[in-house]
Structure formats: structure tokens, C-alpha cells
């Protein structure tokens, strides 16, 4: 029995030594304690440690020029080329300031605001010109011609004898900016339109005899840019408006006899774009302003007798858009400016 107890003790010692060899611990040194990882908030207890790692995110390859994988925050949208920073506009963060490649950004123009006013930028070194009256906006400035300095050689514009039996005049009745030849004959009134280098073929514009017993004139009294036919008769003054290709039916514009004892003219003395009726009498000079469809009541514009001994005319010699009174006397030539 004693023998059996000794054998059992030996077996226990051997077993203990074997266990120490497996755990790597010395027989008389206790095993170190391993603390369980703390629970991750929102992921459960330590048993849920497989939840403590973030979901697997596929790592993007580094972008050339933006650093290694750590620079993943610099990744830009695929297919969009990143623009280099523009000098003076900050780094890549200033990409909203990038302008179209190849277009030089202009500095702000004084008085036009900051860069936002870039639509106001004009060609560098060229001062912005005001629009020229009758030529459109600044783009029409090339239409200005140099001042004249002489008359050229005579040019035959009709290719033969051409005149009106009762009268002739030159006015832009077609409205194309060129002055046309008008011939008043006994049978009709004819227009030879200007082409800019000659007068064209005859065109019958009245379809029968039309003339004024006291005077005839061609002026734009309607204000549409085309000269109209004005016939002053003993009974009244009639206007035949131009359509651009003919003269319309006569319209009574004065409602009774109206004429000047010493002279009559049609000119825009009021400056409204319509030519007015000017009647020079022995006691004064009267203006009947055009309304576009009739001549208004006479207005005394000189306050007494005023006329030229040799010639009278009404033209805008001051350049203010209003025709002035020009009186040529033996002693001198006088201008009475329109106010």
C-alpha cells in the first residue's frame, strides 16, 4: 500500500512539471493576468470584439502629386482634371476662382466695380466711345467718315437729258439714306432712285398729274425718315405721304389757305424729327409745327418783319438739331438761330 502511494506522488510531480512546460511558466511563478479589452460604446460587451473594427473600406490608390494613401482626402472626382492654382488666387482651395484656360483675367476697371464687373471690360488702351447719333452704338464708330475737302470730277448720273416740266427736287423719298431725283411733269411725278453711283430708271409715283398751284416741296413732315410730297394750293396745303415706293393719296394738313407772302419753306425748326411749315410774311415769320398728321396753328417766331433781300433758307447751321433762319442781304448774311 505504501508502495502505491509513492508511485502516485511521483506521477503527480511528473504531471505538474509537464503542465509547467506547456504554459511556459516556472513552477513557482503565477501566470500573468490578461485583462479583457474594454467594451466599445455602442458595440456591446467585450464578447462583441469582432465589432470593434470599422467596416472594411477599400483603400484608394494614391493620386500622383497628392502624397501617399494618407492623402486620400485629396481624391477628386474621377475623370475631372484638377486645375493648378492660379497665381494670386490662392492654392487648390481657390479652385472656384479658376478661369477658362487660355483666357487672361483682366484687372478691374476703375469705376466699374471689382472683377465681377468683367462684362464691362473694354479693349485695353481703347477709350470707350459714346454712341454716334444715327450710327448705332459704339460698334458703329467705324462708319464715321473724314471731313470733305473738295469736289471730284463730274459724273454722268442719268445718261441723258432728264428734268421735270413743272419742277424738280432732290430728297430721300425711299428712306434708304440716299437723296433721290424727283421730276414733276404735266402727266405725273417721277422718281429716279439713287443707287449711290447713279440715278435709276424713272418710276411713276403719283399715277397722274399732281402739283401745287403756289408751291411744291419734298420734306419728311410725318417723321418716318422718308420725304413726303407737299403741294401748296390756293385752297389749302396737301401732303402726299411717301410709302417708300410711291406717294399716297393727298391729305389736307392746314384746313384752309396757308402760305407766306414772301416765301415758304419746310424744315425741322422745333427739333422733333418732323419738318415744319415756315411762312415768311411781310409783317413777321410764322411757324406751323408738324404733328405728324397735320400742321398746327401759326406761331410768330420773329416778332416782326424778317427776311433776306437776296435769299432766305432754313438749315441747321449750328448743329443742334434745329433748323435756323438764314437771311442773305446785300450787306451780309445773317443767321437767326432756332431756340
pLDDT tens, position by position, 131-141: 444 434 444 44
Report which of residues 109 and 189 the model is more confident about: 189
| pLDDT in the model for residue 197 | 98
pLDDT tops 80 at residue 116: no
In the chain, what percentage of residues exceed pLDDT 90?
Answer: 57
Q: Are 278 and 286 in contact (CB under 8 A)?
A: yes
Query: What does the pLDDT look like over 3-51, one tens digit per residue?
Result: 556 565 665 665 666 555 545 444 444 444 434 444 434 334 334 334 4
Of the spans 49-53, 114-118, 229-233, which averages the highest pLDDT? 229-233
For residues 98 and 101, give the distance between their C-alpha atoms in angstroms, rounded to a whole number. Answer: 8
Cell numbers for 39: 467594451
Q: Hey, is 8 helix, strand or coil? A: helix
Query: What does the pLDDT look like over 50-78, one tens digit per residue?
Result: 443 434 434 445 444 434 344 434 433 44
Cell numbers for 75: 481624391
Mean pLDDT score across all residues of the chain: 75
Mean pLDDT of 299-318: 98
* Residue 95 φ/ψ, nearest 5 degrees: -65, -20
Cell numbers for 172: 430721300
pLDDT tops 50 at residue 117: no
Q: How many CB atoms lie within 10 A of CB 62?
A: 15
Q: Are 228 and 221 in contact (CB under 8 A)?
A: yes
The DSSP 8-state label assigned to residue 263 in this structure reads E
For residues 76 and 67, give the distance between their C-alpha atoms in angstroms, rounded to a whole number. Answer: 13
For residues 199 and 179, give the distance between their C-alpha atoms in angstroms, rounded to a whole number. Answer: 10
For the chain, the first-to-last Cα distance in angstroms comes to 155
* pTM, two decimal places: 0.59
| pLDDT in the model for residue 252 | 98
In a 13 Å sphere around the CA of 252, the CA atoms on its Cβ side amount to 9
Q: Are 210 and 226 in contact (CB under 8 A)?
A: no
| pLDDT in the model for residue 334 | 98
Q: Hey, is 119 helix, strand or coil? A: helix
Could you tell me the pLDDT band of residue 172, with boundaries at 50, 70 and 90?
Answer: very high
Report which of residues 95 and 218 the model is more confident about: 218
Query: What does the pLDDT look like over 206-228, one tens digit per residue?
Result: 999 999 999 999 999 999 999 99
Could you tell me the pLDDT band of residue 146, with boundaries at 50, 70 and 90?
Answer: confident
For residues 219 and 276, give the distance between their C-alpha atoms in angstroms, rounded to a whole number. Answer: 9
pLDDT tops 80 at residue 189: yes
Report which of residues 260 and 81 the model is more confident about: 260
Going by C-beta distance under 8 Å and a sequence separation of 6 or more, which residues neighbour residue 258? 232, 236, 237, 277, 279, 288, 295, 298
Q: Hey, is 6 helix, strand or coil? A: helix
Q: Where are the beta strands (DSSP E) in the chain?
A: 167-171, 180-184, 189-192, 203-204, 215-219, 228-232, 237-240, 251-252, 263-267, 276-280, 285-288, 299-300, 311-315, 324-328, 333-336
Going by C-beta distance under 8 Å and a sequence separation of 6 or more, which residues neighbour residue 169? 182, 184, 216, 217, 218
Place of cell 415706293: 245
The DSSP 8-state label assigned to residue 247 in this structure reads B
| pLDDT in the model for residue 110 | 41
| pLDDT in the model for residue 324 | 98
- C-alpha R_g of the chain: 51
Amino acid at each position: 500500500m505504501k508502495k502505491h502511494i509513492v508511485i502516485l506522488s511521483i506521477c503527480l510531480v511528473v504531471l505538474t512539471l509537464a503542465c509547467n512546460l506547456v504554459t511556459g511558466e516556472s513552477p513557482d511563478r503565477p501566470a500573468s493576468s490578461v485583462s479583457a479589452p474594454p467594451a466599445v460604446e455602442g458595440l456591446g460587451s467585450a464578447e462583441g470584439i469582432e465589432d470593434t473594427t470599422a467596416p472594411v473600406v477599400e483603400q484608394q490608390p494614391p493620386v500622383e502629386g497628392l502624397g501617399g494613401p494618407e492623402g486620400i482626402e485629396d481624391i477628386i472626382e474621377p475623370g475631372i482634371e484638377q486645375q493648378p492654382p492660379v497665381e494670386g488666387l490662392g492654392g487648390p482651395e481657390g479652385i472656384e476662382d479658376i478661369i477658362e484656360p487660355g483666357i487672361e483675367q483682366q484687372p478691374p476697371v476703375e469705376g466699374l466695380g471689382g472683377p465681377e464687373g468683367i462684362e464691362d471690360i473694354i479693349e485695353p488702351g481703347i477709350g470707350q466711345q459714346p454712341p454716334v447719333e444715327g450710327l448705332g452704338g459704339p460698334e458703329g464708330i467705324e462708319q464715321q467718315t473724314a471731313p470733305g475737302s473738295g469736289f471730284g470730277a463730274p459724273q454722268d448720273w442719268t445718261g441723258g437729258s432728264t428734268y421735270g416740266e413743272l419742277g424738280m427736287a432732290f430728297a430721300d423719298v425711299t428712306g434708304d439714306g440716299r437723296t433721290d431725283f424727283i421730276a414733276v411733269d404735266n402727266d405725273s411725278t417721277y422718281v429716279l432712285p439713287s443707287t449711290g453711283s447713279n440715278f435709276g430708271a424713272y418710276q411713276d409715283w403719283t399715277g397722274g398729274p399732281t402739283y401745287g398751284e403756289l408751291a411744291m416741296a419734298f420734306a419728311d413732315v410725318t417723321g418716318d425718315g422718308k420725304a413726303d410730297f407737299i403741294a401748296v394750293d390756293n385752297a389749302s396745303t396737301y401732303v402726299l405721304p411717301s410709302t417708300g415706293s410711291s406717294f399716297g393719296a393727298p391729305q389736307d394738313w392746314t384746313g384752309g389757305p396757308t402760305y407766306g407772302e414772301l416765301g415758304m419753306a419746310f424744315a425741322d425748326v422745333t427739333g422733333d424729327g418732323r419738318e415744319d411749315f415756315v411762312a415768311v410774311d411781310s409783317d413777321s415769320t410764322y411757324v406751323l409745327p408738324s404733328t405728324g398728321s397735320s400742321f398746327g396753328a401759326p406761331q410768330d417766331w420773329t416778332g416782326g418783319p424778317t427776311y433776306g433781300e437776296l435769299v432766305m433758307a432754313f438749315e441747321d447751321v449750328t448743329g443742334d438739331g434745329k433748323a435756323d433762319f438764314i437771311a442773305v442781304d446785300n450787306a451780309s448774311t445773317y443767321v437767326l438761330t432756332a431756340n
